Copies of this chain bind each other. A is one copy, B any other.
């Protein structure tokens, strides 16, 4: 079993989405060249990415769309439901709660937490907002797999600690702060402010170059 880079995984996500499109277009076979073109990658990269997990193609023909799609589904582990706990019931949390792309991929938010007393007890759809103190109990009761952090930066690390303590093994962090978690806990960050700063840098530089 070799090491697979996180970029490969991101590209697999992309290939997977494109394969769905090809499937609904009725395409049977797809070449690495065409897949790469639509994915913004190179043919060699597509083949290399896939080769990490086995040999799925037919020489001279390409990849059978339906098979490849279901192989990637299985590799990514999205051939099952995942239960998600959301901490932070502000506007961002609300947007995440109703983000259709999540449910479409079988990620189900089964619990919502917020320390704001005016929010506790309210319902979002059929989920009641609870105090974060209940995290550990709720996580084991609902067998939560993934924790989503949508709280202000200054409390993000303590929320992450509580999630780890509750046995959560995967965290998606929206706070603008680097989080530290033990080995064995998967952590991904979505940092919108950082992306804006990257754009700001690019624009400042372009201006300077002209």
Could you tell me which A residues sit within 8 Å of B by CB distance?
1, 6, 9-10, 12-14, 16-17, 38-40, 75-78, 82, 91-92, 94-96, 98-99, 101-102, 105, 107, 145-146, 153, 169-172, 176-178, 180, 184, 186, 188-206, 209
Tell me which of B6, B102, B186, B195 contacts A188 (CB under 8 A): B195
Question: Considering the chains assembled together, what is the distance between the CA atoms of A96 and B1 in angstroms?
Answer: 41
A107 / chain B contacts, CB cutoff of 8 Å: 196, 200
Query: Are B170 and A202 in contact (CB-based, < 8 A)?
Result: yes
A98 / chain B contacts, CB cutoff of 8 Å: 91
Nearest CB on B from A87, distance (A): 15
Query: Are B190 and A192 in contact (CB-based, < 8 A)?
Result: yes
Query: Are A194 and B95 in contact (CB-based, < 8 A)?
Result: no
The 3 A-B pairs with the shortest beta carbon distances in the complex, nearest first, are A77-B204, A186-B202, A95-B95
Tell me which of B39, B92, B206 contacts A99 (CB under 8 A): B92
